[in-house]
Structure 1
Amino acid sequence: MKIAIVSGKDEGPTKLNAFDNALTDAGIGDVNLIKVSSMLSENTKITELPTLKPGSMVNCVLSEITSDNPGDEINAVLAVAIGKELGCVVETTGINKNEDDLIDEAKFMVTYMMEKRNVEIEELIVEKATTKVKEIASVVASVVYLEE
């Protein structure tokens, strides 16, 4: 299995436009995203996001949050744990929360999931997107499942 890990942030005139702009900033704005749960197959490899065919159906784990409250700091965080047998992904978000606390929360959750499955973590990656809201903003972090 191959995956790409991406993130983006942007403002827009509406919540939907801000979200769409953040997806575009992450490189996944021109595809149809299918949200899936958090499991990765054995020997998952991380790669750069290739150019995706516009309109294609793409599986992903998506962490996203949008705010229209100027001054808010918004965070989307993913933690990805990869082992030989399988891997897990967790997502969390926060508004005006300590970024380090959110990262620690994500790491704790993904470590717990792997321990519960008796799988040793070989690689642990954290991806985050953070911004301070000017008018209406959105942040996204995503694991994108790529075709082999």
Structure 2
Amino acid sequence: MRYTRTDTIAARPADVWAVLADIERWPDWTASMREIIRLDSGPLRVGSTARVRQPSGRPMVWTVTELENERSFTWSAAAPGFRLTGYHELTPAEAGVTAVLTFTLAGPMAWLARMLAGGRVRRYVDMEADGLKRQSEHRAAT
């Protein structure tokens, strides 16, 4: 399964990155997250981990696997039979920033996870995209 959402955000790349990279505050601006607890400290970096609790499902530990400061980060979590991966990419655009959020589900049991939770995954990615836009534009306006 792969789901991608693309939006233009009317804010500077640094403002959008500040919102995106502060993962512990995501529950403040997206209903797709109940709680995110960093398991390390300092700026977000490759190897950073966080325990994520969403409205449905059990808490999972996500690990940052790729990061390009003020541009993108990828993180993933695993469960028996499948791997979840979230890609977050920001590209400067004439009207601000193009934000691309992509979620993939892979592995031998991904088909079952897709059947059970595919609609919820799409809703959560949409909630995250809407919240990122709203929070970033609010930050840019203040």
TM-score band w.r.t. shorter chain? 0.3 to 0.5
| Bigger helix share | 2
Which of 1 and 2 has higher RCO (CA within 8 Å, sep 6+)?
1
Tell me the TM-score normalized by structure 2.
Answer: 0.33
| Bigger strand share | 1
Larger CA Rg, structure 1 vs 2:
1
